[in-house]
Amino acid sequence: GWDKKTFLEHVCLKAGLPPDCYKSPEAKIYLFTAEVFKESDYF
């Protein structure tokens, strides 16, 4: 369980940016949801 700050820092690092890049006035943060599914392995 990361808090919001830790999550955003790791997202920045994953993108190859400084950990505080999300604080930039040019930064845009989008929220989304997804349905994750896969086919059954029982064929």
Compute the average pLDDT of residues 4-33: 97
Residue 43 has pLDDT above 70, yes or no: no
- How many domains does one find in the chain? 1
Q: What sign does the CA torsion over 28, 23, 7, 10 have?
A: positive
Compute the average pLDDT of residues 12-16: 97
- Residue carrying the six token digits 């059954």: 40
Residues 20, 26 contacting (CB under 8 angstroms): no
Question: Which residues contact residue 33 at a Cβ distance below 8 angstroms, ignoring those fewer than 6 apart?
Answer: none
Q: Which domain holds residue 43?
A: 1-43
End-to-end CA separation in angstroms for the chain: 36
